[in-house]
Structure 1
Amino acid sequence: MSWFSWLRAKKPGLDATQQQRLAQLPKPAVLGDGALRSQRWVVVDLETSGLNLNRDQVLSIGAVVIEDGAVDFSQMFERTLLRAESKLSPSVLIHGLGPSAIAAGSDPVEALLDFMEFVGDSPLLAFHAPFDQHMLGRALKDSLGYRLAHPFLDVADIAPLVCPEASIREAGLDDWIDHFHLHVGERHHASADALATAELMLILFSRARQQHIDTPQALQARLSQWKRRKQAPSF
């Protein structure tokens, strides 16, 4: 087998309809200089078979939309993916995703196409985003041959950036929920965690505007500066 034949063999097998849907996905938009509240943001949370970035798989995707300064409850997404051969870690029991739920899940190709059509060209937000970004990106590459290039901001970094007075550091989502006395329902489920993250993000957007961080572009720039300062060695 030639090198080029090997490459072709490794590409996901999509049917004609799936290939057309993939080709019609919009290119991600760069973060612009419009008002923060006018930007459509997709807040995403994943449940996975474990925490190994290279071996574990995405089991479910939950997402909600923030637009016009509020959570848009008419735009919500939830899918459990069929993973017939996935070995579940004990942590999956926390999410309530047992073997029967996963065996009854959606075909990963269809679920991931549905999700990227839901996302459109919007930027993504997640709590501890590097993990979700890596796992989602790998799932998209493996199932669709698609390279995830959307802006992906970490709510776990935005929170201390705009709330430096908070006495919590390296905090989890529950810590920030408690800090702001948010009343959330079910947790440890992809769609519920995405909604909890979105409710937290509405507060953070308000704090950002009070600090004259008025645009998505400005938020991304301030976040990059904050992370560089945090990572700089102290003498």
Structure 2
Amino acid sequence: MNLLQRLWWSHRLKGSDYQYLFRRDKTNKTTPKEYISLDCETTSLNPAQAELVTIAATKIIGNKIITSQPFHIRLKAPQSLDQGSVRIHHLRHNDLHNGYHEIDGIKALLAFIGNRPLVGYHIRYDKAILDRACKKHLGFPLPNPLIEVSQLYHQRLERLLPNAYFDLSLETICRHLDLPIQQRHDALQDTITAALIYVRLTYGSQPTPFIPK
């Protein structure tokens, strides 16, 4: 979202509890900037049809990942939850019986993330789903800037080997950066993995151009 769009939404939401989301970040330069690693589990891989099942987020402050205070909620089972969806995230209708209503989950998420930049693996997909839910219930999209960790990884390696091909799968990135590889993925664990990749690439040494097998 560019500056003009932010100004337009800020003006449109004047007097709203959500106007602050579209204001410029005025964080003190001496204070470590905060980011949010985010991941969602949905009923489909099609962003035009997918509905939210779980939402997870973890704060990153400077080079620290705040795993002790995560955001992790389940939503009530959406209509599109079927056997194919269950095979992906292993959450059945019964598992989601006590979940949040979507509007309440979105409001809780906004209170946690604010207008901080969002970090993630395939983060544009997650934002597309959340944008649709936010527009449906609150009338506006998320304003948060995005940081895609696979793109960040590619940029770091391309400095050493321009125009080379790099495997950008999550497992390969973790293996190359010597980060733990989780055998079973869920939304919260994936936020921590994306946060680890971001911190490693931002504050660690330059990765070698050769990916171990």
The TM tier, using the shorter chain, reads: 0.7 to 0.9
1:132 corresponding residue in structure 2:
126
| Secondary structure of 1:160's aligned partner | helix
Aligned residues: 188
Q: Per the alignment, do residues 142 and 170 of structure 1 end up closer, same or farther by CA in structure 2, a change over 3 Å counting?
A: farther
1:24 aligned to 2:21?
A: no
Distance apart, 1:39 and its partner CA: 1.0
Give distance in 1, aligned partners of 2:170 and 2:56: 16
Letter in 2 for 1:50: S
| Secondary structure of 1:97's aligned partner | coil
- In the alignment, is the contact (CA less than 8 A) between 1:96 and 1:189 conserved in 2? no
- In the alignment, is the contact (CA less than 8 A) between 2:121 and 2:150 conserved in 1? yes
Q: Per the alignment, do residues 83 and 91 of structure 1 end up closer, same or farther by CA in structure 2, a change over 3 Å counting?
A: closer
Describe how 1:29-68 pairs up with structure 2 within 5 A. Answer: 30=24, 38-68=32-62
Describe how 1:54-203 pairs up with structure 2 within 5 A. Answer: 54-88=48-82, 90-164=84-158, 165=160, 169-185=166-182, 187-203=184-200
Give distance in 2, aligned partners of 1:145 and 1:56: 19
- In the alignment, is the contact (CA less than 8 A) between 2:57 and 2:191 conserved in 1? yes
| Secondary structure of 2:150's aligned partner | helix
- In the alignment, is the contact (CA less than 8 A) between 1:84 and 1:102 conserved in 2? no
Give distance in 1, aligned partners of 2:78 and 2:85: 18
Q: Per the alignment, do residues 193 and 33 of structure 1 end up closer, same or farther by CA in structure 2, a change over 3 Å counting?
A: same
Q: Which runs of 5+ in 2 are unaligned?
A: 1-14, 207-213
| Secondary structure of 2:21's aligned partner | coil
Identity of matched residues, %: 23
Q: Per the alignment, do residues 203 and 110 of structure 1 end up closer, same or farther by CA in structure 2, a change over 3 Å counting?
A: same
Letter in 2 for 1:180: L
- In the alignment, is the contact (CA less than 8 A) between 1:140 and 1:148 conserved in 2? yes
1:205 aligned to 2:202?
A: yes
Listed one character per residue, the Cα deviations across residues 143-196 of structure 1 (whole Å, up to 9, x for unaligned) are 322321111121111111123358762512121111112124464200110011
Q: Which has the higher helix share?
A: 1
Higher RCO (C-alpha 8 Å, min separation 6): 1
Per mean C-alpha deviation after superposition, the further-off stretch among 42-51 and 154-163 is 154-163
Describe how 1:214-233 pairs up with structure 2 within 5 A. Answer: none
Give distance in 2, aligned partners of 1:90 and 1:74: 32
**TM-score by structure 1 length?**
0.70
**TM-score by structure 2 length?**
0.77
Distance apart, 1:127 and its partner CA: 0.7
2:11 corresponding residue in structure 1:
none
Give distance in 2, aligned partners of 1:49 and 1:80: 13
Give distance in 2, aligned partners of 1:205 and 1:128: 18
| Secondary structure of 1:23's aligned partner | coil
- In the alignment, is the contact (CA less than 8 A) between 2:175 and 2:181 conserved in 1? no
Letter in 2 for 1:151: P
